[in-house]
Amino acid sequence: MLTLNKIKPAPGAYKSSKRVGRGQGSGTGCTAGHGNNGHNARSGPSFKPYFEGGQIPLTRRVPKVGFHNPFKKQYQIVNTGALEKIGNDGDEITPEVLRKKGLIHEADLPVKILGVGELSKSLIVKVHAFSNSAKEKIEKAKGKAEVVGSA
């Protein structure tokens, strides 16, 4: 009968680990398999992934170009043509509404309306930024373009 105390792994499935540094007679005494000298014989040997044996590493040989501004404001873009499709006359369009309609991914991130496409419905649009052409198109359709928050 099979019981938990009789379960054993298949023969040869497990191999006992080599015990290093246990005296000369063990075969791995003295230097414990690390050789006589050098970087890897020391305690805690660690080469950086980019180490190339003392040669100037690739990260230093390749020229660096450009600049990344960590303070740049990244807007989620929505065009006026898309507002035409989702809203009716007098509707209030906010980032939450745009998120529910699937035009932006995050309601918390700043939104900017651009003037691509036509707009015929009078909408009240409350977002973080507008392009000049988008603002003109919204006001031309008798809507309101209001800037909310500071993005």
Q: Dump pLDDT digits (tens) for 23-64.
A: 999 889 899 888 888 888 888 877 888 889 889 999 999 999
Q: How far is CA 84 from its chain centroid?
A: 32
Contact 59, 51 (CB under 8 A): no
Contact 146, 94 (CB under 8 A): no
Distance CA 13, CA 22 (A): 25
Q: How confident is the model at residue 93 (pLDDT cuts 50, 70, 90)?
A: very high
Is the whole-model pTM more than 0.75?
A: no
Contact 54, 39 (CB under 8 A): no
Q: What is the CATH number of domain 76-147?
A: 3.100.10.10
